[in-house]
Structure 1
Amino acid sequence: MSEATSAPVDTSRHPLLWPLLATLLIIGWSSGFVGIRYANQEASVMLLLFWRTLLSGLILLPFALFMGPGISMRAVRDQALFGIMAVFLYLGGFALAIEQKVPTGLVALIADLLPLAIAALSQPVLGERLTARQWQGTAIAVAGVLIVSFDSLSLGTAPIWAYGLTVGSMLVFAAASVLYRRHERSRMPVYQSLCIHTLVGSVLFGLCASAQGSLAPPMTRDFAIGMVWLVLIATFLAYAVYYTSLRLFPVAKVSSAIYLSPPVTMIWAWLLFSEPLTLGMIAGLLVTLVGVWMTSRG
């Protein structure tokens, strides 16, 4: 294969590296709400995801082709599988569940239990055993997420399969994260792998969106703002930092930062859309912070 193999980074000599990456990851992961909020009023979710992934892939394409090592067909095949799992099935599964009227609060809660699934998979697949302290931190973080999400939880009237779809989408991304960590051969630069992931996702989302109607984007200010936000922050920042962190740190440690996504999303909503920020949400944020700190330091 022709992927680049970079020398490993001694993270013990860079004590501020993980706090920096974790902060960027939390900002990027939680910011997807903002772009969706702006753009979803103008287009269907599938059309929105099509343009998000297409624009992301096309922006990265010149860098992937001309600034990195040569990309073999085997590498494209391997990375395309991650694109199907981590982009199309993960994002598309939750989008379809919401369209089927699964309550958004319940979808968000299931999505944000992703680190718990990754922690469970990391030991049998990667041999990365969590300590008792890390499991305690995980339990505390889950409790914090439940506190934050409590007010928005409801069961709704969606078909049974739609609820299973949310769980399945979360588990698919957990499996993709663990396999990405294990897949030592895939050492191409992150911008190359992310380019393949998003372009593969755009083809599949485009097929879904075309079945619903036109692929033409709405020519509105809110859709444009949403796209810029989703591409630059929710895709480039979130996915690039996530994949980079997976190469440097244990997968359960990296994923634990995602527990802070729900409370930080509430802060985004409060700052940008004047949505209420209750004492319960603040308490949940503090509890989650304690849990993530214990998990990261374990």
Structure 2
Amino acid sequence: MTLDRLAPAIFVLLWSTGWVMAKYADIYADPLTFLVMRYLLAALLFVGFCLATGAAWPKTWKTAGHAVISGIFLHGLYLGSVWWAIGQGVPAAISGIIAGLQPLMTAVVAPALIGENLSGQQKLGLVLGFLGIALAVVPKVLIIDTGSTPIHLLPVVINVLGMTAVTYGTIHQKRYLQDGDIRSIATLQYVGALIVTVPLAFFLEDMRVIWSVQLFAALAWAVLGLSMGAIALLLYLIRRGQVSKAASLIYLVPPLAALQAWLFFDEALTLPMIIGTVIAVAGVYLTNRKAVPVPA
């Protein structure tokens, strides 16, 4: 099988672990502080990787600036918002619903910004994907809402803003960074992530860190599995396919995250989650399947 066929499945599997990682890492460090360590290590490793493999760096400051800007939105604002919101008590189910809205937002704004139109089949796939995610996570939200722990509005709003940030970051990546070496672009993106995350961590958190084997294990997976492996695949997918197709893969992340939460945190895996996952898979298939030409 080619990388084009395997990359989407590998990306979804890797990226879905980020939801469980956000919950786990919060035990050992403040969310933004953990992300600062993650971004710094990822940037250093990517620099070493670029030097070892002879990666080509952007030829102009303008191109380098676009890479930094995309990193600000894709990593700094998006992950910073999501991780901070989860640290402030936003349940993973609600955060999953918000993430499930991102492909629809991308599909809505992509035609205006980069002239990428969707077929009727792709629109149906996006709708099915959203319905599948809603079916998978809404029952959990209803259970959470009837509990005793209140959910504050501000973290939810920040989570929504994070979703809009990754939408713009994905389109910016497609619009301005279609060419160039993915390795050096990814490196500069983590520079952009640090530009916004470091001051936010300093002003919003106590920068708590509990140094332990568990912390280093979480950092190792967050850096190698997510910041390097998953992000490299995401950039590859954005470059190889339509931006809306790449975004539609996010539909599969919340159901997989729920499955991992069941395996590692003993959270309930309900029938609606299973059915919703099947519907989401169908939606992703329709969005990514190439249309068959109609004979003249």
Task: Give the TM-score taking structure 1 as reference length.
Answer: 0.86
Map residues 153-172 of structure 1 onto 2, 5 A cutoff: 153=141, 157=150, 160-172=153-165
Match for residue 92 of structure 2? Answer: 104
Shift of 1:158: 5.1
Shift of 1:282: 1.1
Q: Name the aligned partner's letter for residue 105 of structure 1.
A: A
Shift of 1:188: 2.5
Match for residue 9 of structure 2? Answer: 23
Q: 1:20 to 1:59 in 2, by over 3 A?
A: same
The superposition leaves residues 111-157 of structure 1 with CA deviations (integer Å, 9 ceiling, x where unpaired) of: 22211111112212222211111111111111110111123215675
Is structure 2 residue 206 aligned with structure 1 residue 213? yes
Q: Is the 8 A contact 1:57 1:198 kept in 2?
A: yes
Q: Is the 8 A contact 2:22 2:86 kept in 1?
A: no
**Take 2:215 and 2:88, find their aligned partners in 1: how far apart are those partners?**
23
**Take 1:270 and 1:97, find their aligned partners in 2: how far apart are those partners?**
21
Q: Is the 8 A contact 1:246 1:254 kept in 2?
A: yes
Shift of 1:43: 0.9
Match for residue 69 of structure 1? Answer: 56
**Take 1:149 and 1:31, find their aligned partners in 2: how far apart are those partners?**
17
Q: Is the 8 A contact 1:177 1:251 kept in 2?
A: yes
Q: Name the aligned partner's letter for residue 220 of structure 2.
A: V
Q: 1:163 to 1:271 in 2, by over 3 A?
A: closer
**Take 1:141 and 1:193, find their aligned partners in 2: how far apart are those partners?**
30
Match for residue 137 of structure 1? Answer: 125
Match for residue 184 of structure 2? Answer: 192
Match for residue 149 of structure 1? Answer: 137
Report percent identity of matched pairs: 26
Give structure 2 stretches of 5+ with no counterpart: 292-296
Give structure 1 stretches of 5+ with no counterpart: 1-14
Shift of 1:49: 0.8
Q: Is the 8 A contact 2:102 2:163 kept in 1?
A: yes
**What secondary structure is seen at the aligned counterpart in 2 of 1:112?**
helix
Shift of 1:41: 0.5
Is structure 2 residue 201 aligned with structure 1 residue 201? no
Query: Structure 2 residue aligned with 1:283, among 275, 286, 290?
Result: 275
Is structure 2 residue 165 aligned with structure 1 residue 179? no
Q: Is the 8 A contact 2:101 2:130 kept in 1?
A: yes
**What secondary structure is seen at the aligned counterpart in 2 of 1:151?**
helix
Q: Is the 8 A contact 2:71 2:193 kept in 1?
A: yes
Q: Is the 8 A contact 1:68 1:189 kept in 2?
A: yes
Match for residue 72 of structure 2? Answer: 84
Shift of 1:280: 1.7
Shift of 1:221: 1.7
Q: 1:190 to 1:149 in 2, by over 3 A?
A: same
**Take 2:91 and 2:267, find their aligned partners in 1: how far apart are those partners?**
18
**Take 2:207 and 2:133, find their aligned partners in 1: how far apart are those partners?**
38
**Take 1:24 and 1:241, find their aligned partners in 2: how far apart are those partners?**
8
Query: Structure 1 residue aligned with 2:235, among 234, 239, 243?
Result: 243
**Take 1:276 and 1:101, find their aligned partners in 2: how far apart are those partners?**
19
**Take 2:88 and 2:28, find their aligned partners in 1: how far apart are those partners?**
19
Match for residue 222 of structure 1? Answer: 214
Is structure 2 residue 264 aligned with structure 1 residue 272? yes
Q: Name the aligned partner's letter for residue 13 of structure 2.
A: I
Q: Is the 8 A contact 1:38 1:225 kept in 2?
A: no
Shift of 1:247: 0.8
Q: Name the aligned partner's letter for residue 163 of structure 1.
A: V
Shift of 1:223: 1.0
**Take 2:274 and 2:91, find their aligned partners in 1: how far apart are those partners?**
22
Query: Structure 2 residue aligned with 1:118, among 106, 113, 132?
Result: 106
Shift of 1:163: 3.1
**Take 2:262 and 2:155, find their aligned partners in 1: how far apart are those partners?**
29
The superposition leaves residues 48-70 of structure 1 with CA deviations (integer Å, 9 ceiling, x where unpaired) of: 11111111111111233462124
Q: 1:292 to 1:104 in 2, by over 3 A?
A: same
**Take 2:182 and 2:288, find their aligned partners in 1: how far apart are those partners?**
23
Q: 1:214 to 1:30 in 2, by over 3 A?
A: closer
**Take 1:163 and 1:70, find their aligned partners in 2: how far apart are those partners?**
38
Q: Name the aligned partner's letter for residue 37 of structure 2.
A: W
